[in-house]
Chains A and B, each alone.
Chain A
């Protein structure tokens, strides 16, 4: 079902393209040796290059190039063996050089695509227009001093990848799903940590609306939105603003806007006199970036299995539903966890335990798969105990709860708490005999045709055994004993 916004003049379609700025995972900055760790003291990770002192020159960090190429390959995109760094010129206090070194006419990565899985189980493809590498600016802080602004240059010069999508997104949900999928791919590749709250991933959102079948109308760019939820909200809010404008006879101006989540509105960011002419030109301090086909081939050979391929494999090899497989592959750690639990075991059972009990427990304890108190080996062992009949399904749930609490192996817990299922037929027969003796009247009723009492006997036997009797054995033995 297409997502449409109903206006006074009928339904409107929305058109969205995203420019995602993803911070490259690297120890050093794009053009200097300064460190990039998050949360360091202000201006403690700044070289003379980052602060643009006179005579300083940029030198490209090969690791950042490698990461960007890896990302391009992960997005199934064309890698340009020759690309050019260009200067984007503008003045701001947190931009020491007075220009940002970016890429303009010749980006490192060309067209690619992202397959986006939607909540209703459908998939859609969002085209990637380009990916280029650029420097981040510093950070201006206007709340540290009554009359002055403070500048932190720790981010200045940190490598970013700007990943530009085609305007292929048609709903806030699709935008959210695209961002989550992109983040998942970047994390699989290890090229961006995807932490939007730390600013390692930010999105500029281009939004326009149109009537079905029309050409694109004027778009507005909402700058620097820093969570998936806000991106989705901003799209909806901005689309509604544009529709209202059109329907009240106005026109939409192409401009840069800011999203205010508190007020739930977007507002214009720059006034006309600051309209920027960035005066892009090739940076004469840097030669064109030339890559050998071998360099690219080596990176390609080292790519990990990505979510789409993993999902297909889970469906194919483990017989999972596409939905289950999709949930499991969102992050690599969960997928790896599942795979290690499922290996050599009933994969459906493994999927149920991982997605149901484990994810539930992690959710309620505020932990992640990496800090899970239950290891993949322990969960696998628990499943083995169920499969070999040592634990009943019910007992297994109890053991699992104890595992979450204690982090101990299920075998240890079974031993400690004496939770082992009773499979000794003699012991179960003794219990059955006791139950039958204590309920002679019910036995007589059963034998006279009241079959429904069978459940009563099962319950009594289980209760008397403290829940440890193997339910299958109880059924079989009870049936033959009651039959007389």
Chain B
């Protein structure tokens, strides 16, 4: 048999069902791939023994006729999800060696559906970053390179390890989390599919928190059908997360292949800032043309408060982060650097335990919440957030789904954009408004840049209408025929 790691989940499930391959076969092939691709640094922790044990159990279940949605499928888990007995670092030194005694709800759902864990994927520290360069465990390399250029590129972030693993076939799919674009931007950079579902669709229980009102888990896969399947397995109301929505989970796989005749696709006019590259605009136009060809109607919409989104995000997210990260104090778990007093222990532990980007955001967050500045920053940002959400509500009166670029550029070089945090933050300019509004956003690869790098487009849906997003995504995927991982 050819290399089973190149299969999509859907293809692999068919072979498993026919008995042509076992979960143990799939798992072994992936573990071998992981070993030979360690230079990508996609995983912080590999769990081969656990993976083989889980695969063996899965094969037994399959024999007994008990198959879950992802029965036997090997996955990478972003190292932000707590996994029982397996080191969970959040990409930070401060959690080095931390082995939770509990399992996140999303991974619990995945295991209940028969999935197999290959290991814990690398990420930007506490999911703060757009390059995966802030990880304490080293940067992740994008499996893609520019044509005729051997320099390493970033996979995007923060779910960079997950994206690189899926793109390099070191996992059939991976969990990601998205706070301002952390699933969609790395998916675009690595030429894969990633969806941040509606806020509340997946439980946040057991996911190390970055910004609670924005954090949302989602699948990262090589096809739209796989994303639909994996999201179905991950999602669902969870009484342990008060912000998880008491909504039933539709069968997203039914949307894959459904007609989009008459669908209204909105194009936000504010998403074409001066200086947006002709390549990105070209990809966007191509995407619109495909949708039109399939019977959709293209309408222009306006999201007038878009220009405030980045500033709003960089107040709200750091504010919540500054409070969420207060628990990493050296008292109960993770790193402790001793001091002569409690305050000294705090200062030493946090100084050594957190990296520069995390410290920067804690400082920003502490500042915007402090007495005398709260109204000027945090309170105002909350008002803007409401306005941004209302922009989308109005746009969705005219359109059923929106199409935009995912990121303003393709993947950039490792080490680039590090000097200027603002340039780095601009990576998420197209993904952040969706996050602030809590809407579902999916990125899929639609083509290559002139220097041979994947370009992604983003589909944005109404709250809890991932189905329409999947429908449109599948139409575009079919038209794009972007299956580059098969050749790699």
Could you tell me which A residues sit within 8 Å of B by CB distance? 48, 51-60, 87, 89, 91-93, 96-99, 149, 151, 277, 279-281, 284-287
The 7 closest A-B pairs by CB, nearest first: A98-B326, A284-B212, A284-B213, A279-B369, A55-B206, A52-B327, A54-B208
| A98 B329 Cβ-Cβ under 8 A | yes
Asked whether B102 lies within 8 Å of A89 as measured between CB atoms, the reply is no
Q: Complex: how many Å from CA A53 to CA B82?
A: 10
- Cα distance A278–B326 in the bound complex, in angstroms: 13
Instruction: Indicate whether B241 reaches chain A with its CB closer than 8 angstroms.
Output: yes
Verify A89–B243 contact, CB threshold 8 A: no
A287 touches B243 (CB 8 A): yes
Q: Which residues of A lie under 8 Å from residue B104 when comparing CB positions?
A: 55
Q: Do B346 and A91 touch (CB < 8 A)?
A: yes
Chain A: CB-nearest residue to B371: A277
CB distance from A50 to the nearest CB of B (A): 11
- CB contacts (< 8 Å) of A48 on chain B: these are 101-102
Q: Would B243 and A97 count as touching, CB distance under 8 A? A: no
16 contacts between A and B (CB under 8 A): A48-B101, A53-B102, A54-B90, A55-B208, A56-B205, A57-B241, A58-B242, A59-B240, A91-B326, A96-B332, A279-B366, A280-B369, A281-B319, A285-B209, A285-B243, A287-B242
The answer on a CB contact under 8 Å between B100 and A54 is yes
Indicate if the CB atoms of B88 and A279 lie closer than 8 Å. no
Residues in chain A near residue B333, CB distance under 8 A:
53-54
B100 and A53 form a contact (CB under 8 A): yes
**In the complex, what distance in Å separates the CA atom of A99 from the CA atom of B378?**
18
Given contacts A91-B343, A151-B331, A279-B374, could you give 5 more A-B pairs where the C-beta distance is less than 8 Å? A57-B204, A58-B242, A59-B239, A279-B366, A280-B374
Interface residues of B: mostly helix, strand, loop or mixed? loop
Please give me the residue from chain A that is nearest to B88 by CB atom: A54
- From A54, A59, A281, give the contact of B327 (CB < 8 A): A54
Determine the distance from Cα of A281 to Cα of B243 in the docked complex, in whole angstroms: 17
A97 near B326: Cβ-Cβ < 8 Å: yes
Quick one: which of B81, B95, B242, B319 contacts A57, CB cutoff 8 A? B242
The interface residues of chain B lying within 8 Å CB-to-CB of A151 are: 331
> Which residues from A are CB-within-8-Å of B90?
54
CB distance from B95 to the nearest CB of A (A): 7
Q: Is residue B256 contacting chain A, with contact meaning CB distance below 8 A?
A: no
Q: A55 vs B105: C-alpha distance in the bound complex, in angstroms?
A: 10
> Chain A nearest CB: distance from B456 CB in Å?
28
**Residue from the set A53, A149, A279, A286 with the largest chain B CB neighbour count within 10 Å:** A279
B100 near A98 with CB under 8 A, answer no
A97 CA to B211 CA in the complex, in Å?
15
Residues of chain A contacted by B369 (CB below 8 angstroms): 89, 279-281
- Residues of A near B366 (CB, < 8 A) are 279
Render B326-359 as a binary contact track against A, CB cut-off 8 A, 1 for contact.
Answer: 1101011100000000110010000000000000
Contact A93 B370 (CB under 8 A): no
Using Cβ atoms and an 8 Å threshold, which residues of chain B touch A149?
A: 342
A91 CB contacts on chain B under 8 angstroms: 326, 329, 343, 346
Q: Does any Cβ of A come within 8 Å of B320's Cβ?
A: yes
Q: Please judge, given known A-B contacts A59-B240, A284-B212, whether A98 and B207 are in contact too, CB under 8 Å.
A: no
Write the nearest CB–CB distance from B191 to chain A, whole angstroms: 30
Least Cβ–Cβ distance between A83 and chain B, in angstroms: 14
Output the residue of B104, B206, B325, B327 with the most chain A CB within 10 A: B327
Nearest-neighbor residue (CB-CB) of A58 within chain B:
B242
Contact pattern, B 79-92, Cβ under 8 Å of A = 1, otherwise 0:
00110000010100
- Taking Cβ atoms with an 8 Å cutoff, the residues of B that contact A are 81-82, 88, 90, 95, 98, 100-102, 104, 204-209, 211-213, 239-243, 319-320, 322-323, 325-327, 329, 331-333, 342-343, 346, 366, 369-371, 374, 378
Given A53-B333, A54-B88, residue A59 in contact with residue B101 (CB < 8 A): no
A98-B323 in contact (CB<8A): yes
Contact A54–B82 (Cβ < 8 Å) = yes
Distance in angstroms between the alpha carbons of A99 and B104 in the assembled complex:
23
CB-based nearest B residue for A286: B242
CA distance A48 to B331 in the complex (A): 14
A149→B81 CA distance, assembly (Å)? 32
Query: With A and B bound together, what is the CA distance between A58 and B100 in angstroms?
Result: 17
Task: Give the docked Cα–Cα distance between A48 and B102 (Å).
Answer: 9
From B98, B322, B327, B374, A97 is in contact (CB under 8 Å) with: B327
B205 touches which one: A57, A87, A280, A281 (CB < 8 A)?
A57
- Cβ-closest chain B residue relative to A48: B102
> Contact: B323 with A285, CB < 8 Å?
no
Q: How far, in angstroms, from A279 to B326 measured CA to CA in the complex?
A: 12
Interface centre among A60, A284, A285 (most CB of B within 10 A): A284
Closest chain A residue, CB of each to CB of B81:
A55
Given contacts A57-B241, A58-B242, A91-B346, contact A99 B82 (CB under 8 A): no
Task: Assess whether A55 is in contact with B239, with CB atoms less than 8 Å apart.
Answer: no
Q: A51, A54, A60, A87: which contacts B242 (Cβ < 8 A)?
A: A60
CB–CB B100/A55 < 8 A = yes
**B-side contacts of A277, CB under 8 Å:** 370-371
B80 nearest CB neighbor, chain A only: A55
* Interface pair B240/A57, CB less than 8 Å apart: yes
Q: How far is the CA of A422 from the CA of B139 in the complex (A)?
A: 104
Residue of A nearest to B343 (CB): A91
Distance of A151 Cα from B208 Cα, bound (Å)? 24
Shortest distance between the CB of A279 and any CB in chain B (Å): 4
Q: Which residues of A contact B211 (CB under 8 A)?
A: 284
CB of A95, distance to nearest CB on chain B (Å): 9
Please, which residues of chain B bring their CB within 8 A of the CB of A55?
A: 81-82, 100, 102, 104, 204-209
Choice from B100, B208, B326, B378 contacting A281 with Cβ under 8 Å = B378
Inter-chain contacts of A57 with B (CB < 8 A): 204-205, 240-242
Residues of B within 8 A of A53 (CB): 100, 102, 327, 332-333
Given A54-B98, A55-B206, answer yes or no on A98-B327 (Cβ-Cβ < 8 Å).
Answer: yes
Distance in Å: Cβ of A470 to nearest Cβ of chain B: 73
The answer on a CB contact under 8 Å between A59 and B242 is yes
Q: Taking the nearest CB of chain B, how far is it from the CB of A53, in angstroms?
A: 7
**Given A54-B88, A55-B207, A57-B242 in contact, is the A93-B342 Cβ separation under 8 Å?**
yes
- Residues from chain B with Cβ under 8 Å of A87 in the complex: 323
Q: A96-B327, A98-B326, A285-B212 are in contact. Are A52 and B242 (CB under 8 A)?
A: no
> A282 to nearest B CB, angstroms?
8
Cβ-closest chain B residue relative to A88: B323
**Looking across the interface, which residue of chain A has its beta carbon closest to that of B101?**
A48
CA distance A280 to B366 in the complex (A): 11
- B239 CB contacts on chain A under 8 angstroms: 59
Docked complex Cα distance between A99 and B371 (Å): 16
Residues of A within 8 A of B208 (CB): 54-55
Q: In the complex, how many angstroms separate the beta carbon of B129 from the nearest chain A beta carbon? A: 18
Residues of B within 8 A of A93 (CB): 329, 331, 342
Shortest B439–chain A CB gap in Å is 17
Min Cβ gap B463→A in Å is 15
